[in-house]
Amino acid sequence: MPPVLELRGITKAFPGVLANDHIDLTLEEREIHALLGENGAGKTTLMNILYGLYTPDEGEIYVRGRKAEIHDPNDAIAQGIGMVHQHFMLVPVLTVTENVMLGVESVKNGIFLDRTSAAQRIRRISEQYGLEVDPDAYVKALPVGVQQRVEIIKLLYREADILILDEPTAVLTPQEVEELFKVVRSLVAQGKSVIFITHKLKEVMAIADRITVLRNGRVVGTTSPAETTEERLAAMMVGRKVLLEVEKGPARPAETVLKVEGLKVMDDRGNLTVRGVSFEVRAGEVLGVAGVQGNGQTELVQALTGLRPVLEGRVHILGADLTNAPPRRVLERGVAHVPEDRQRDGLVLSLPVADNLVLNTYYLPPFAQLGTLDQETILATAEQRVREFDIRTPSVMTSVSSLSGGNQQKVIVAREFSRPIRLLIASQPTRGLDVGSIEYIHRRIVEKRDEGCAVLLVSPELDEVMGLSDRIAVMYEGEIVDILPADQATKEEVGLLMAGVRRKEDVSATIA
Amino acid sequence: MSTVWERIGARGDVSARRARTYGLIFLGVGLLIFLLFARGATADQATTFVLTPSGESQALPVPDLSVPSLTVLYGFALVCVFVGGWQLARGFRRVNLALGGVAVLFVLAFLTWAARDRSMNLTGLLSSALLRSVPIALAGLSGVLCERCAVINIAIEGMMLTGAFIAALMGSVAANIWEWPSWAALLFGLASALAAGALLGLLLAVLAVRFKVDQIIAGTAINILAVGITSFLSARILAEFQYLNNPGIFPRFSIPLLSKIPIIGPVFFEQNGLVYALFVLLIVTHVMLFYTRWGLRTRAVGEHPRAADTLGINVFRTRYINVTLGGMVAGLGGAFLVLGSVGRFDELMTAGKGFIGLAAMIFGKWMPFGAFGAALIFGFADALQTKLAILEVPIASQFLLMAPYLVTMVVLAGVVGEAVPPAADGQPYEKQ
């Protein structure tokens, strides 16, 4: 029997990049095939070709042994191929039923939408595959994990049997990831075949039947969890040996640097998203804030750095009351900020590397003399930083927009870490970065801690928080539900706290 | 009062603060009614509201409503104060309803005061308000059609102006040169206006969808183009040959039975065909938007075009169709100004109605009937201005003209805070 899906020699070039270079891939029936690779390795490009969003320059696609011409998503859907995109393709203001039926609407009396029969079909699909969801709920009111279920139901509603899941775990809590794995296994048991795209090694080992590793647009090799280890996979992805665990000694906490008391902050829409948060960070320790995205972490960090007004409560940094202080005063107090959205808040994309390196010090000597910029010093310093932090850029005058994500983040790290700082506030410092860059950023953060800097680390990646932190604060719906010492916290415990199980007794009861 | 102020400032919870602000506004309106109106009336004055229209009407006659001005004004002020007190103490669950009620009371108080010792034809006022709201409502509906699929149509003004010009010109040509019967000439003028609107809509769609021109700039360009061309042609052709600017108007006709209902009948069901066309369009658009495949796809394209695209929906085609339809509706609005109202084209006769229509669309939360409701408020303000000129009200007329707009602004500020446009509004769609 021919494989369900076969890609032969797929090649796709974008200006300046060969995103896919003669890629071969086969997907057997009832197989979970993991596609593993760093960001920019070409995984998403390949899947977008398969789904008809891009047209390949070369290569052929065979579905069940027959050559398939896929020019747009309609062709892919007709071939039984469905895709759950990394950023969900759901319309928030429509209901689950409307989202699922969109494009293949059932109609009664010639023109009117038949929501009832569509909702019934959705209920049947939910039961069959264990995808619990209320067809009449509005998508915007659903948690991310349920939204993902809606995405999967969308594919099943269209009777897809080749399912592509693009980085499906990026937005989920550990418990939701477990749920998802159950669903994926149930899909495969009922005859579907799945391509699972990820850069997370643990997940690949847990779920995949076979693993294909991509690097720089090429297939490095195909293997299976039984034949390989996480270390070997990491080496295949990056092309060299990589340290997966963060190496760090015990913390030596000293005086309190950041003290937050009863902080309340609103988001842009006027909802109270930080609801009375109190904690302290001491010099020489990393306090990690764990929590699913959207539980108030963004607003918390913005309030601490002076980017968002504080409604109630106090922020003390090194003894000074900096509640609602302007950002420059916060920075001058020795605070470094690595923002969660580096392209929007961390860099001026159209400016060269050199200018981005002095964005918060350009007005001080030696970069400014008598109100004018000293270009020579700025350029010379930039050259030095680029070497010191290993920023891969053609020159310091190259605009930051043309750098890779990892190198953009290194520009921010270089800028923030080269000042004398006492407090580092790092929000998702490794978001979207590859294994090699993650390793580098983590090492730098631990170095800062060991130099006596207080570190507040905010990340939705539980592994990152667990690996770097000395204490872990878990945020849920705008409150810190608990602060645990990192060496005593287990992943299950933190995961449950992230999901809103509040009291310690509940946690131990659920684990038991 | 100090406790109230403390309570406003102290709590972080926005909804609570908002609720208190509403309460204070209600109290303030009650106070205003007392200070502005009740103190200006005396105990022996009476206000008479005439409820039967002055002209010919099918409506069943209703006796005039004569009320003692001062008592009524005190009553209104008390009700507002009570509503405000209730809002502060207990809170209404549907506070917007209370806000609307207080606004209506304020307007009624204003009318009671302005017409004390005189009589005011309320039905006539409402009927004229409806007539004035029709072009605004059509402009708003045009905006709804375009923005629901995420194309901002700021060119409605220009489309209406062009529609009005074409309706006048082509209607006159058919009536006075080809000597068609008047109904055929009127329909021909109307059809030509629709076609002109559709063409301009298509032009906007090509600029916005195909060439991804900034939609505000594209719309402004069309507006300037429309002003220039219609003014030029009107000066060169319509002014020279008067018979080319005399298409006639659609006759009024009463709808059997419905027109007999007191007040409502003469206001809504004794109008001309174009007004009824608006009612039909409102219903059809609402049903189409929320109960058909086209509507679901339109809304998806307006909210998340990439999602629609991944499901095989043609984003570009959807936008072309909707913007062209929106242009047609704007053309209809222009045709109404000529064929449904004054019967001739004047330079710049739209006078900002297209833009007011956009405001009505926003106020109406991008819903057809919402836009119509908002248009009614604007139309009422407009009708009131004219009415006040006739009643000799003893306050500087400039301030009187402001009053209805002030009320409108209070209502707008209260409601628009919650209006959310389609998420992709104004953004050109790039295929990957």
Q: Does the beta-carbon distance from A102 to B306 stay under 8 Å?
A: no
Task: Tell whether the model's pLDDT for residue A306 goes beyond 50.
Answer: yes
Chain A residues with a Cβ under 8 Å from any Cβ in chain B: 48, 51, 53-54, 72-74, 77, 83, 85, 88-94, 98, 101-105, 107, 111-113, 154, 264, 266, 270-272, 311-312
Whether A476 and A397 share a structural domain: no
A115-124, B28-37, B361-370 — most confident range: A115-124
Per-residue pLDDT at A79: 93
Whether A406 and A460 share a structural domain: no
Give me the domain span that covers residue A44.
5-238
Per-residue pLDDT at A124: 95
Chain A residues within 8 A of B293 when measuring between CB atoms: 105, 107, 111, 113
Per-residue pLDDT at A94: 95
Chain B residues within 8 A of A53 when measuring between CB atoms: 310, 432
Per-residue pLDDT at B13: 54
Q: Does the beta-carbon distance from A272 to B423 stay under 8 Å?
A: no
The per-residue pLDDT for range B252-303, each reduced to its tens digit, is: 888 888 888 888 888 899 899 999 999 999 999 999 999 999 999 999 999 9
The per-residue pLDDT for range A384-428, each reduced to its tens digit, is: 999 988 888 888 998 898 787 778 888 999 999 998 899 999 998
Whether A81 and A175 share a structural domain: yes
Looking at chain B, the whole-number percentage of residues with pLDDT higher than 70 is 90
pLDDT band, residue B111 (cuts 50/70/90): confident
Per-residue pLDDT at B407: 59
Whether A13 and A90 share a structural domain: yes
The per-residue pLDDT for range A66-102, each reduced to its tens digit, is: 999 999 889 999 999 999 988 889 999 999 999 999 9
Q: Does the beta-carbon distance from A74 to B297 stay under 8 Å?
A: no
Evaluate whether residue A339 is within a structural domain.
Answer: no
Per-residue pLDDT at B4: 40
The per-residue pLDDT for range A221-271, each reduced to its tens digit, is: 999 999 999 889 988 988 877 777 778 888 889 899 999 999 999 988 778
Evaluate whether residue A247 is within a structural domain.
Answer: no
b/e per residue B195-208 (b: at least 16 CB within 10 A): bbbbbbbbbbbebb
Whether A429 and A405 share a structural domain: no
Task: Among A89, A94, A105, select the one facing B299 at the smallest CB separation.
Answer: A94
Look at the block and give the residue holding tokens 């049903």.
B287
b/e per residue A41-53 (b: at least 16 CB within 10 A): bbbbbbbbbbbbb
DSSP assignment string, A216-278: TTEEEEEE-GGG--HHHHHHHHHSS----SPP-------SEEEEEEEEEEE-TTS-EEEEEEE
For residue B314, the chain A residue with the least C-alpha distance is: A103
Q: Mean of the per-residue pLDDT values for chain B?
A: 88
Chain B residues within 8 A of A157 when measuring between CB atoms: none
Q: Does the beta-carbon distance from A112 to B312 stay under 8 Å?
A: no
Whether A131 and A49 share a structural domain: yes
Chain A residues within 8 A of B307 when measuring between CB atoms: 88-91, 102
Whether A415 and A436 share a structural domain: no
Residue ending a domain, choose from A238, A273, A300 = A238
For residue A105, the chain B residue with the least C-alpha distance is: B293
Per-residue pLDDT at B409: 67
Tell me the shortest Cα–Cα distance from B216 to chain A, in angstroms. Answer: 25
Whether A504 and A377 share a structural domain: no
For residue A265, the chain B residue with the least C-alpha distance is: B12
Per-residue pLDDT at B230: 96
Residue ending a domain, choose from A238, A270, A297 = A238
Evaluate whether residue A288 is within a structural domain.
Answer: yes
Which has the higher per-residue pLDDT, B107 or B334?
A: B334
Residue ending a domain, choose from A395, A419, A443 = A419
- B123-415 domain in CATH 1.10.3470.10? yes
pLDDT band, residue B9 (cuts 50/70/90): very low
pLDDT band, residue A510 (cuts 50/70/90): low
Q: What is the ipTM of this complex?
A: 0.85
**What tokens appear for B55 in the block?**
């002209």
For residue A486, what is the domain's CATH number? Answer: 3.40.50.300
Whether A98 and A231 share a structural domain: yes
The per-residue pLDDT for range A318-353, each reduced to its tens digit, is: 999 999 999 999 999 999 999 988 888 899 988 999
Domain ranges of chain B: 4-117, 123-415
B6 CB-near residues (< 8 Å, 6+ apart): none
Q: Does the beta-carbon distance from A113 to B293 stay under 8 Å?
A: yes
Chain B residues with a Cβ under 8 Å from any Cβ in chain A: 12-14, 291-293, 296-297, 299-300, 303-304, 306-313, 423, 432
Whether A50 and A172 share a structural domain: yes
How many domains would you assign to chain A? Answer: 3
Whole-number CA gyration radius for chain A: 25
DSSP assignment string, A375-425: HHHHHHHHHHHHHHTT---S-TTSBGGGS-HHHHHHHHHHHHHTS--SEEE
Per-residue pLDDT at A183: 93
What's the mean pLDDT in A351-373?
Answer: 90
The per-residue pLDDT for range B381-429, each reduced to its tens digit, is: 888 877 777 776 666 667 766 655 665 666 666 655 567 889 889 888 8
Q: Does the beta-carbon distance from A93 to B423 stay under 8 Å?
A: yes
Q: Does the beta-carbon distance from A101 to B296 stay under 8 Å?
A: yes
Per-residue pLDDT at B368: 96
Q: Does the beta-carbon distance from B312 to A94 stay under 8 Å?
A: no
Whether A411 and A425 share a structural domain: no
Instruction: Label the pairing between strands A66-68 and A58-63.
Output: antiparallel
Per-residue pLDDT at B7: 41
Whether A228 and A264 share a structural domain: no
pTM of the model: 0.79
Q: Does the beta-carbon distance from B292 to A90 stay under 8 Å?
A: no
Evaluate whether residue A243 is within a structural domain.
Answer: no
